[in-house]
Structure 1
Amino acid sequence: MDIGRSPIWLATMLALVLAEAGWRLSQRRGYDGRAALTTLGLVAGNIPAALLNAVVLSAVYGFAARLAPVHWPLGDWRTWAIGFVAVEFAYYWFHRASHRVRWLWASHSVHHSAEQMTLLASFRLGWTNLFSAGWAFYVPLVLLGFPPVMVVTLLAFDLRYQFFLHTEAVGTLGPLEWVFNTPAHHRLHHASNDAYLDRNYGGVVILFDRLFGTFARVRREEPIRYGLAHRTPTANPVRLAVREWSAMLGDAAKARTLGDLGRALFDPPGSHDRSAPARPVEKVI
């Protein structure tokens, strides 16, 4: 999630978070105040990380733009229309890799740590996104000539849109469910049930999940459980930020061959956890 800087946007998010908390309490679903404090701790730690990201990525994307053989006009609506599809496509593969590659999951796992699906939980972000290099998935778009400012703006829109997906207050949305990522689709994405792992990666649209076989719906016989599969819950934001890195680098330190090292760093999450089964091979549900 992109926290955003607009006072109106911040006020809107705060109002919705408070309204959702009231709804959850009125529906006797409960609202975990300790988890909320954990999220705020993660947000505080992410502020300097976000500033560093902005400095480094502006330089990286600027350099890539200078290498581009063509440059799409920023003022042309067609650039934005095609760019939207391109950013959604890149986001889908970034998000999918973030669940299937341990190096990326070390950062992304923080976002899945909440055991309640709430709007506030959407702000749970790792502090190591620059290091895990998920941003590299968007470099090809800049090399293809899309203006960096457009790529960043569309990605920010994508992430702000997802704020509204982190809630149980909204049911299904009829025909919109076929095209757009919705709260119903995203709730399943956050499930820790083995049957639901690694599904519904889309940002604004759900079309690439349908196209590439990663789309799934909740089954009545298996209610969603939130949180991290095969991980003990913790309210410590520092532990959440470094736990997966610590486990991964510990396994890497034990590697005896380059193959062992590669598997320790890039295998699916859970592959080296003796207390849990390896992450299942992706299949269509």
Structure 2
Amino acid sequence: MIPAVVYAIPFFVLLVVVEALSYRFLPDDDERGYELRDTVTSMSMGAGSQVIGLPWKAFAVLAYALAHGLAPWQLSASSVWTWVLLFLADDLAYYVFHRSHHRIRLLWASHVVHHSSVRFNLSTALRQSWTPMTTLPFWLPLALLGVPPWMILLQQSVSLVYQFFLHTERVERLWRPVEWVFNTPSHHRVHHGSNSAYLDRNYGGILIVWDRLFGTFEAEGERVVYGLTKNIGTYNPLRVAFHEYAAAWRDVRTARRWRDKAGYLLGPPGWSPKAGP
């Protein structure tokens, strides 16, 4: 089964070109626009994620189907309430997935790819992980609730398409009620910021209400500095994809105590043993 998002890829590429041209013909000194090597890297990461992701999706569908078979009831795709439940459950699953991938280093090693650009434009949305295997546990509960697997994959694609449009500086704040309920470019710019005030904020997918409910919301204020707190300084897709795994392995290998080894993997990014005997 080919994810619906695959069919949107040509439109993504076209919109990247349109946005890049907009910077050329309608420049804005306060926006950072595009840089060729950065854009090529982002698109290379996106292409690689699709090559790896297609066979992985086949495995995920099988896992969802097995879980769906164990569900105590089966939800009907013909019911509007099934779709409402799916929308909310998928978005909450994304919030938990996203927050976990910022707070557990082993998961962050996969997700850090998406934050590795020092620019923020539509091509940044395509800078995706080459290790999608960490996603499965967060959506299996939806299948156990009785949601058909094809509906789960479809809603995942809807969420990804929506989030593509969040990666831009060309859109300022939207109408206040929209900003209060939905994730917007302004909210997502904060999420990609390396400013101390913006770290680990605004994890939402389509909705921003989970961040408001769980205390992780931050409004856009000071100018956003994009990228990592320690940028990797490379356009090599292989290094972008796996640099944090290599760094985590170095830390684990040199740690003397087992609890320190576990801390380097399961603690948050930047964790280190406390000073002491």
Tell me the TM-score normalized by structure 1: 0.88
Q: Distance in 2 between the 1:59 and 1:249 partners?
A: 31
Structure 1 SS opposite 2:6: coil
Structure 1 segments of 4+ aligned residues over 6 angstroms from their partners? none
Is 1:209 equivalent to 2:211 in the alignment? yes
Give the CA deviation at 1:4: 2.5
Indicate the larger mover: 232-241 or 177-186: 232-241
> In the alignment, is the contact (CA less than 8 A) between 1:3 and 1:123 conserved in 2?
no
Indicate the larger mover: 142-151 or 252-261: 252-261
> In the alignment, is the contact (CA less than 8 A) between 1:200 and 1:216 conserved in 2?
yes
Equivalent position of 1:283 in the other structure: none
Q: Distance in 1 between the 2:86 and 2:108 partners?
A: 26
Equivalent position of 1:20 in the other structure: 19
> In the alignment, is the contact (CA less than 8 A) between 2:5 and 2:158 conserved in 1?
no
Map 1:51-66 to 2 at 5 A: 51-66=54-69
> In the alignment, is the contact (CA less than 8 A) between 2:67 and 2:140 conserved in 1?
yes
- What are the ranges of 5 or more consecutive residues in structure 1 without an aligned counterpart? 275-285
Q: Distance in 2 between the 1:67 and 1:13 partners?
A: 37
Is 1:121 equivalent to 2:120 in the alignment? no
Q: Distance in 2 between the 1:195 and 1:172 partners?
A: 19
One-letter identity of the residue aligned with 2:109: A
One-letter identity of the residue aligned with 1:267: G
One-letter identity of the residue aligned with 1:115: V
Is 1:155 equivalent to 2:166 in the alignment? no
Change (3 A) 1:49 1:10: closer
Equivalent position of 1:89 in the other structure: 92
Give the CA deviation at 1:180: 0.5
- What are the ranges of 5 or more consecutive residues in structure 2 without an aligned counterpart? none
One-letter identity of the residue aligned with 1:92: Y
Equivalent position of 2:247 in the other structure: 247
Indicate the larger mover: 257-266 or 67-76: 257-266
Q: Distance in 2 between the 1:254 and 1:3 partners?
A: 44
Q: Distance in 2 between the 1:34 and 1:12 partners?
A: 21
Equivalent position of 2:140 in the other structure: 139
One-letter identity of the residue aligned with 1:18: V
Q: Distance in 2 between the 1:169 and 1:203 partners?
A: 19
Alignment RMSD:
1.9
Indicate the larger mover: 228-237 or 252-261: 252-261
> In the alignment, is the contact (CA less than 8 A) between 2:183 and 2:205 conserved in 1?
yes
> In the alignment, is the contact (CA less than 8 A) between 1:119 and 1:164 conserved in 2?
yes
Give the CA deviation at 1:3: 8.3
Give the CA deviation at 1:18: 1.6
> In the alignment, is the contact (CA less than 8 A) between 2:73 and 2:146 conserved in 1?
yes
Equivalent position of 1:165 in the other structure: 166
> In the alignment, is the contact (CA less than 8 A) between 1:104 and 1:134 conserved in 2?
no
Give the % identical residues.
43
Map 1:30-41 to 2 at 5 A: 30-41=33-44
Is 1:236 equivalent to 2:233 in the alignment? no
Q: Distance in 2 between the 1:14 and 1:41 partners?
A: 12
Map 1:90-109 to 2 at 5 A: 90-109=93-112
Equivalent position of 2:261 in the other structure: 261
Q: Distance in 1 between the 2:196 and 2:79 partners?
A: 45
Is 1:199 equivalent to 2:201 in the alignment? yes
Change (3 A) 1:100 1:80: same
> In the alignment, is the contact (CA less than 8 A) between 2:94 and 2:204 conserved in 1?
yes
Residues 15-49 of structure 1: CA deviation (Å, up to 9, x unaligned): 32122112222315442011011112212322331
How many residues get paired?
267
Structure 1 SS opposite 2:137: helix
> In the alignment, is the contact (CA less than 8 A) between 2:42 and 2:124 conserved in 1?
yes
> In the alignment, is the contact (CA less than 8 A) between 2:33 and 2:121 conserved in 1?
no
